Amino acid sequence: MHLELYMRERRSLVEAARDRYLPSASEPPGRLHEAMRYSVLAPGKRLRPILVIASAEAAGGKADAVLPTACALECIHAFSLIHDDLPCMDDDDTRRGRPTNHIMFGEATALLAGDALLAFAFELISDNLDLLRDGSEDARALEPAAVRVAKVLRVVARASGTWGMVGGQVADMDAEGKDISAQDLQYIHSHKTGALIEASCVVGSLLVGGSPQAVAALSCYGRHLGLAFQIADDILDVVGDESKLGKPVGSDVRQDKATYPKLFGIEESRRKAREEAEMARAAVECLGAAADPLCSIAGYVVEREL
């Protein structure tokens, strides 16, 4: 299993599709579209869309059948970063090594670009139905394509809002400057970052008609992967290389955010991240060789620069 090659190939699929789907800056309102594209096209790992594809493949489906939904997850991720960086939130000036959206386009346009990306993500999910009907769907699929799209809609809507990402952001804000328990910290992480990562791992298999067992395994994988990812992120904020991260390190400490290193120290956090990655891998063992990329991704997520 050559992970780097695998990720590079999926990443180019995603990036080509996303460029095609996103509203063009030459269509009105051009400034809004420019702002939307600025954040979605920014350099990045594309972890969430790659997980959507890997999840579809692990359930026996094809990447092409899930590309709109894969891009939808990237749009939601971009929306959350734009709003997170706004002055009334984290007030960050740089992201991925470039000026943040509101520094480039002004606060009002950045706010609306985020809103538009969230709405656009749901439009992409509805577009995915056409692809599934066009014969590219997995032959073993028993459920009608529209039922699968409706399930995906539900998973993504819940993971984006108060039951997921936004709920986690609120809890994260509330925890600033406070001493919180390990349980509270896990709530924050599993919601703020974990929910969308878990959703990414689930929707690919849902769309291609994966079995309930496969979907459950991928959901469990996604839950552990999301936690592993966020613990690793917390660690990188302390020990990472600013030029590689594209954002200043130490911002969590400055804002007195609730993090794993703050609660457990660096070494214990590293151990926990690896433990979560191990549990993620174990969850998809039942899917056999089709889940090899997912297993490698779990390793990659915690070993990045730890």
Residues in touch with a second copy (CB under 8 A): 23, 28-29, 31-33, 36, 79, 83, 86-89, 106-109, 111-112, 114-120, 122-123, 125-127, 129, 144, 146-147, 149-151, 153-154, 156-158, 160-163, 166-167, 169-171, 173-174, 187
Residue with smaller CB distance to a second copy, 57 or 74: 74
The torsion angle over the Cα atoms of residues 32, 38, 44 and 46, rounded to 10 degrees, is 40
Could you tell me the smallest distance in angstroms from the CB atom of residue 33 to a second copy? Answer: 7
Residue with smaller CB distance to a second copy, 82 or 232: 82
- Other Cβ atoms closer than 10 A to 9: 14
Residue with smaller CB distance to a second copy, 11 or 158: 158
Residue with smaller CB distance to a second copy, 130 or 305: 130
Q: Which helix (H) or strand (E) holds 219?
A: helix 212-239
Residue with smaller CB distance to a second copy, 107 or 285: 107
Residue with smaller CB distance to a second copy, 109 or 296: 109
Could you tell me the smallest distance in angstroms from the CB atom of residue 161 to a second copy? Answer: 3
The torsion angle over the Cα atoms of residues 247, 252, 258 and 264, rounded to 10 degrees, is 90
Place of tokens 């695998």: 6
Nearest alpha-carbon partner for 51 in 221, 192, 253, 227: 221
Query: Which is it for strands 98-99 and 94-95: parallel, antiparallel or unpaired?
Result: antiparallel
Could you tell me the smallest distance in angstroms from the CB atom of residue 68 to a second copy? Answer: 12
CA-based torsion, 11, 234, 91, 123: positive or negative: positive
Could you tell me the smallest distance in angstroms from the CB atom of residue 105 to a second copy? Answer: 10
Nearest alpha-carbon partner for 67 in 214, 204, 226: 204
Place of tokens 């979560």: 276
- Other Cβ atoms closer than 10 A to 7: 19
Residue with smaller CB distance to a second copy, 57 or 90: 90
Type of residue found at 225: L
DSSP 142: -
Residue with smaller CB distance to a second copy, 196 or 287: 196
Could you tell me the smallest distance in angstroms from the CB atom of residue 34 to a second copy? Answer: 11
* Contact in structure between 110 and 87 (CB atoms under 8 Å): no
Residue with smaller CB distance to a second copy, 41 or 112: 112
Q: Which helix (H) or strand (E) holds 94?
A: strand 94-95
Helix axis angle, 67-85 to 47-58, nearest 10°: 150
**C-alpha to C-alpha distance for 197 and 134, rounded to whole angstroms:** 28
**C-alpha to C-alpha distance for 235 and 231, rounded to whole angstroms:** 6
Could you tell me the smallest distance in angstroms from the CB atom of residue 231 to a second copy? Answer: 22
Could you tell me the smallest distance in angstroms from the CB atom of residue 198 to a second copy? Answer: 15
Could you tell me the smallest distance in angstroms from the CB atom of residue 238 to a second copy? Answer: 25
Could you tell me the smallest distance in angstroms from the CB atom of residue 148 to a second copy? Answer: 8
